[in-house]
């Protein structure tokens, strides 16, 4: 298990857990970032917000927030657009 900030552009992963305050967890859930969701990293530059593709949307997440999202890698054959 790794944190979301470790993914490189184009890599896919399944969300295992999200850590943080109740307000943070609620915000992530509202965007579909919940355990079991499959995501794809679109842009992972440390100086800018991370862009991820989840549930037919591209979402920007603050650099400090991606460290609170734990994921595990999935096979490239598993298309995150269908999850």
CB neighbour class for 32 (10 Å; exposed up to 12, middle 13-18, buried from 19):
middle
Give the start-to-end residue ranges of the domains of the chain: 2-77
Distance CA 66, CA 6 (A): 9
Q: Which pLDDT value is given to residue 62?
A: 93
Dist. CA 40–CA 43, nearest whole Å? 9
- pLDDT digits (tens), the chain, 83 positions: 999 999 999 999 999 999 999 999 999 999 999 999 999 999 998 889 999 999 999 999 999 999 999 999 998 665 545 44
| Fold that domain 2-77 belongs to in CATH | SH3 type barrels. (2.30.30)
pTM above 0.75, yes or no: yes
End-to-end CA distance of the chain, in Å? 19
């Amino acid at each position: 298990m790794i944190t979301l900030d470790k993914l490189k552009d184009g890599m896919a992963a399944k969300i295992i857990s999200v850590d943080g305050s109740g307000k943070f967890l609620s915000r992530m859930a509202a965007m579909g970032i919940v355990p079991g969701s499959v995501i794809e990293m679109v842009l992972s530059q440390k100086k800018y917000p991370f862009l991820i593709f989840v549930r037919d949307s591209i979402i920007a997440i603050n650099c400090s927030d991606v460290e609170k999202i734990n994921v595990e890698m999935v096979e490239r054959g598993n298309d995150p657009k269908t999850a």
